[in-house]
Amino acid sequence: MIKVEHLSKKFGDVTVLNDISTTISKGEVISIIGPSGTGKSTFLRCLNLLEHPSSGSIIIDGVDLLDRRTNVPKIRQKMNMVFQSFNLFAHLTALDNLTLGQIRLLGMGKDEAARKSLDLLRLVGLAEKADAFPDELSGGQKQRVAIARCLAMEPEIILFDEPTSALDPTMVSEVLAVIRRLAKDGMTMLIVTHEMDFARDVSSRVFFMEEGGIYEEGTPQQIFEQPMREKTRAFINRVRSFHCSISSPDYDLYAMNAEIEIFCERQILPKRIGQKLLLLVEELLHLHQPLLSTETVEFKISHSEKHGTLEIVAESSGDEYNPISLTNTPDELGLNIITAMTETINYQRFEGKNRVLLVLGEK
Ligand code: ADP
Ligand code: MG
């Protein structure tokens, strides 16, 4: 339905979107998450041409949006957008906010538009507010009117840009409920949101945006439970981490341990956990010993307050080698100690690196 290829957007010299390619099918609900300033709004705005992309192409149902002959108002109607700040016409009632576009852009008769608008207001739970002006509505109600107005244009795709960010927390759920309902009815939607629980259960796919692109994408399960790339993990788990890189068998274990102890103190971890961590790192380093004369091993320890876990990742460059396989290890006892102390231990070959992951509960 939507095919984006090599989409880039620059503002002056600043590249905000860098070579985005993706395909979105009919009926998909895609949540777009990521830190602020990473181009999420710009991406949506490029899709419906509120911003003109610097390069690349956007094809919707076979129509090239960047072709000069493309009917832009028609595209915006087909792919309508809901904004954080509602953008209702203050001088029009809720009903008239809906009928206006139907009459002007869809060429609908007044009565028919009014009838349909009332149905849509009913759909978002606001039929009794048809004659109210935006000023007389709460934030949540305004946003529901804005969604109804968007639906009035009979869009095939809806773009939501942080639809609940301007709302009082008590009003977030009424708006999310309406969006959930649309998802259930099969509407194709792209939703920029900071509501992680909502993103997790409403979407078919999640895009994590970072560095001006779709840094990682996957099912909600993949992105929220097993994000593969570092910045995604940090964002999802809001982790704080400690890094160190070891490239010689004669590394200074005492110095490294001292740094880990400082990290544990900063994270306010119990002493007992700190000691467990030191032991694990030492054993894990030992398992990597055969690699240290030729390769670099990167250690990263991350603390996720949210999950109450400590995660140790050891990544090594070079050929495929699994340091935690019983056939490779020079130290079976060490491996047993690690296995007994951790909740998760696994090996993956990922992006050309060997990666061992240990997860340790905070309790
Ligand atoms: P997000 O929605 O992820 O927070 P935005 O898409 O709003 O990010 O912005 C991405 C970057 O582009 C930011 O650094 C922002 O300052 C910049 N930017 C956005 N719009 C403009 C504009 N019209 N002119 C110049 N810079 C802009
Ligand atoms: Mg934004």
pLDDT of residue 350: 87
Ligand 1 probe mutation, 7, 10, 11, most atoms within 8 A of CB: 11
Residue 363: pLDDT band (50, 70, 90) is low
Question: How many angstroms separate the alpha carbon of residue 353 from the centre of ligand 2?
Answer: 34
What is residue 185's DSSP assignment?
Answer: T
Neighbours of 128 (CB within 10 A): 10
Return the ligand 1 atom nearest residue 161 CA: 2
Question: How many angstroms separate the alpha carbon of residue 165 from the centre of ligand 2?
Answer: 10
Higher-confidence residue of 205 and 248: namely 205
| Any ligand 1 atom below 6 A from CB of 38 | yes
C-beta of residue 290 within 8 angstroms of C-beta of residue 330: yes
| Any ligand 1 atom below 6 A from CB of 39 | yes
Q: What is the pLDDT of residues 49-74, one digit of tens each?
A: 999 999 999 999 888 998 888 888 88
333: left (phi over 0), alpha (psi -120 to 50) or beta: alpha
| Any ligand 1 atom below 6 A from CB of 42 | yes
C-beta of residue 312 within 8 angstroms of C-beta of residue 358: yes
pLDDT of residue 303: 86
- Report d(CA 103, CA 34) in Å as an integer: 38
| Any ligand 1 atom below 6 A from CB of 12 | no
| Any ligand 1 atom below 6 A from CB of 354 | no
Q: What is the pLDDT of residues 16-33, one digit of tens each?
A: 999 999 999 999 999 999
Question: How many angstroms separate the alpha carbon of residue 124 from the centre of ligand 2?
Answer: 25
Q: What is the pLDDT of residues 147-199, one digit of tens each?
A: 999 999 999 999 999 999 888 878 899 999 999 999 999 999 999 998 888 99
* Residue 237: strand, helix, or coil: helix
Give strand pairing partners of 3: 23, 59
- Report d(CA 152, CA 175) in Å as an integer: 17
**pTM of the full predicted structure?**
0.72
Ligand 1 probe mutation, 38, 42, 81, most atoms within 8 A of CB: 42
Instruction: Return the H-helix or E-strand segment holding 197.
Output: helix 196-202
Name the H helices within 205-270.
220-225, 230-237, 253-266
User: Which is nearest to 25 in space by CA: 275, 150, 196, 204?
Assistant: 204
Q: At what angle do helices 172-184 and 139-152 cross, to 10 degrees?
A: 20
239 has pLDDT over 70: no
